[in-house]
Amino acid sequence: MPSSLPRWCIVIPCHNEERAIGGVLNGAQRLGVPICVVDDGSTDATHKIVSRHPGVTLLRHDGRHGKGEALRTGLRAARQSGFEAVLTMDGDGQHQADDVPYMLAAAKRHPGSLVIGARMLDTERQPRARHLANRVADWGISWACARGIADTQSGQRWYPPAVLEMADTTTEGFAYEASLLIRACREAGVDVVSVPIPSRYGAQFRHSHFRPLLDVARITWATSRHLFGYGQLRESYRLAQERHALVEHHRVRMAADGVHLSAGLPGGPG
């Protein structure tokens, strides 16, 4: 196992997150790595709040282009700045910096793997419609990836170098993350590791921009295109059933203590 991670930064896509973005950035800045916020055409005070955080790079879209374009903008900017890997977080407060060391520990234990912060803890907090939508998406995307994956819809991810090179994936909206995940598995042979994190829903978080019916339909369409494009549907389904989702539990959380105490989270601002 390597002693350090690739040079990495944090990318946070957001839209109208004036209630939460300040707290998200306060936590993220404690990690001591470069941060890029992509404001996807917010009409509230999001950009003003971000601007109050010294050292945070703010990129702004002139209008709302969707989460896919916001992520694409951030990942491209990271590559152009010389970063080799990216950790993504949503700006609504559901992803917290306290979970990042656990994900980094998993990334160190599984070099080159894509790591997902999987909302497997406190699942009773998830709205029923969202929970069902996530289950359906997990089933379909795991099939397309030809391996089981836990929480394919989580936006808290560690993208290793091989996946960062796929940043120009053209799918839009929430389906962008699904396409990136599928391409990583099928075209780059990247493994996927999920690290349990809490499900955070409630009055303190704004209503999600995710629309269960419409966005799941779009994700399903994008997933189907990949699945039929790769062919071998039966074989892909068989592999998805046999290759169970890889989930890191207690060992990675114990190892995370070492990551927390090491010199600024290995592979940070090089």
Note the pLDDT tens digit of each residue in 73-109.
999 999 999 999 999 999 999 899 999 999 999 999 9
Q: At residue 137, does pLDDT exceed 60?
A: yes
The domain segmentation of the chain, as residue ranges, is 8-261
Where does the pLDDT of residue 178 fall: very low under 50, low under 70, confident under 90, or very high at 90 and above?
very high
Q: What is the pLDDT of residue 264?
A: 39
Where does the pLDDT of residue 270 fall: very low under 50, low under 70, confident under 90, or very high at 90 and above?
very low
At residue 205's C-alpha, the angle toward residues 200 and 208, to 5°, is 90
Q: What is the mean pLDDT of the chain?
A: 87
Average pLDDT rounded to a whole number, residues 177-184: 95
Where does the pLDDT of residue 171 fall: very low under 50, low under 70, confident under 90, or very high at 90 and above?
confident
pTM > 0.75? yes
At residue 48's C-alpha, the angle toward residues 10 and 215, to 5°, is 60
Q: What is the pLDDT of residue 174?
A: 74
Rounded Cα distance between 217 and 264, Å, is: 41
Note the pLDDT tens digit of each residue in 141-169.
999 999 999 999 999 999 999 999 999 98
Q: Give the lowest-confidence range in 11-20, 157-166, 209-218, 254-263.
A: 254-263
Q: What is the pLDDT of residue 269?
A: 46
For the domain 8-261, what is the CATH superfamily, name and number? Spore Coat Polysaccharide Biosynthesis Protein SpsA; Chain A (3.90.550.10)
Q: What is the pLDDT of residue 3?
A: 52
262 burial (CB, 10 Å; 0-12 / 13-18 / 19+) is middle
